[in-house]
Amino acid sequence: MLFVTDSKKDVDTAARDVEEAVKRNGFGVLHVYDLQEKLREKGVDLPHACRILEVCNPKQAAKVLAADMEVSLALPCRISVYDDGGQTKIGTIQPTALLSIFPGAAALQPVAEEVEQVLVKIIEEAR
């Protein structure tokens, strides 16, 4: 269900490299959350750096939403870059696994597989 890999880069560098890989692979970055900073603004200390990138391929999203609007509950795709005990990790929830929670979306499996392949490629390029 999860695809997570280690990176030798620090969180800032890895997150920047993910953004670049997203663009090279035909996706766009809709938003980047600096979770550590957001929680700090709310008075909560998160000791680990964490960037959450919301990414989307508009053509694939349109295909999926034209077939089943409930899948919008799982969009956009997310890639997280975070520190876990001094080790930078980059990961995502696999779209094929996520799609399985939507009972009427079985026909969308090929699209989910395509998106998943690209997300894995993005993560591998950025690590």
Q: What are phi and psi of 2, to 5 degrees?
A: -110, 145
Nearest Cα neighbor of 7 from 61, 80, 75 is 80
Report residue 44 CA to chain centroid gap: 24
pTM of the predicted structure, to 2 decimals: 0.94
Task: Give 104-116 pLDDT, tens digit per residue.
Answer: 888 999 999 999 9
Nearest Cα neighbor of 92 from 126, 44, 49 is 126
Q: For the chain, percent helix, then strand, then coil, each to nearest 5?
A: 50, 30, 25
Task: Give 64-89 pLDDT, tens digit per residue.
Answer: 999 999 999 999 999 999 999 999 99
In angstroms, the CA 124 to CA 127 distance is 5
CATH code (residue 97): 3.30.310.70
Parent domain of 50: 2-126
Number of domains in the chain: 1
